[in-house]
């Protein structure tokens, strides 16, 4: 009698384990984990890897590895992005704005003509003359984003 009860208990445990395994397997196939590094911005820069857009050099870079600045004798050509149409523009005031942004270790957004320095606290932002936003959208520079995380991004914007 004890062997029958033991066999029934083991059978029930195995069946429940199998059901649990299959449920987890099916859920993982229906809801896969997000890809690491899948947070590219409108320029293709992967923020989670530390890359940000440098309009001066027209590429993604890590500001601690390579400075986003221009030599004073080099003409500046930026690009204003509208949807998928890129129109080149060049001007002295734009060059000064971009260089000023690079000196602040900021990210220049030519479409909005603003500089963002996102590592400043609210008090430091205001002291430097910036506009602080404690809860900006993660997709604020890409209104056509198909997927946007619901998180607040602290920003300090200079116009």
Within 8 A by CB and 6+ apart from 96, the residues are none
pLDDT reading at 156 higher than 70 = yes
Note whether 13 and 58 are same-domain residues.
no
- As a residue count, the chain comes to 159
pLDDT at 64 over 90: no
Domain shared by 83 and 136, yes or no: yes
Same domain, 68 and 115: yes
In this structure, what DSSP letter does residue 49 have? G
Instruction: Tell whether 4 and 59 lie within a shared domain.
Output: no
Q: Does one domain contain both 53 and 84? A: yes
The confidence score (pLDDT) of residue 119 equals 81
pLDDT digits (tens, 9 = 90+) for 65-107: 888 776 443 333 333 333 333 333 445 677 778 888 888 888 8
Give yes or no: residues 28 and 61 share one domain: no
Domain containing 68: what range? 34-158
| 76 SS3 class | coil
Summarize the confidence of residues 48-61 as an average pLDDT. Answer: 82
Q: What SS3 class is residue 59? A: strand
86 and 18, same structural domain?
no
Q: Which pLDDT belongs to residue 159?
A: 83
* Gap between the Cα atoms of 36 and 33, Å rounded: 9
Verify that 129 and 83 share a domain, yes or no.
Answer: yes
Query: 28 and 38: one domain?
Result: no
48-52, 132-136, 140-144: range with highest mean pLDDT: 132-136
- Whether residues 29 and 53 share a domain: the answer is no
- What pLDDT digit, counting tens, does each position of 13-41 carry? 999 888 988 888 887 777 666 555 567 88
pLDDT of residue 144: 75
Q: What are the tokens at 24?
A: 């987890």
How many domains, the chain?
A: 2
Q: How far is 118 from 38, CA to CA, in rounded Å?
A: 20
**Whole-number average pLDDT of the chain:** 76
Residue 63 has pLDDT above 90, yes or no: no
The verdict on 86 and 131 lying in the same domain is: yes
Q: Do 16 and 81 sit in the same domain of this protein?
A: no
DSSP designation for 48: G
């Amino acid at each position: 009698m004890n062997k029958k009860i033991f066999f029934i208990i083991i059978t029930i445990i195995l069946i429940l384990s199998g059901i649990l395994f299959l449920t987890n397997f099916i859920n993982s196939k229906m809801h896969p984990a997000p890809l690491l590094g899948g947070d590219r911005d409108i320029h293709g820069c992967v923020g989670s890897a530390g890359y940000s857009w440098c309009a001066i050099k027209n590429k993604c870079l890590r500001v601690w590895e390579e400075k986003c600045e221009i030599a004073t004798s080099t003409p500046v050509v930026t690009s204003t992005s509208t949807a998928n149409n890129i129109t080149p523009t060049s001007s002295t005031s734009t060059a000064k704005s971009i260089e000023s942004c690079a000196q602040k270790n900021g990210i220049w957004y030519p479409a909005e003509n603003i500089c963002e320095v996102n590592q400043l606290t609210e008090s430091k932002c205001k002291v430097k003359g910036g506009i602080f936003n404690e809860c900006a959208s993660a997709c604020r520079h890409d209104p056509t984003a198909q997927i946007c995380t619901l998180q607040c991004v602290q920003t300090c914007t200079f116009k």
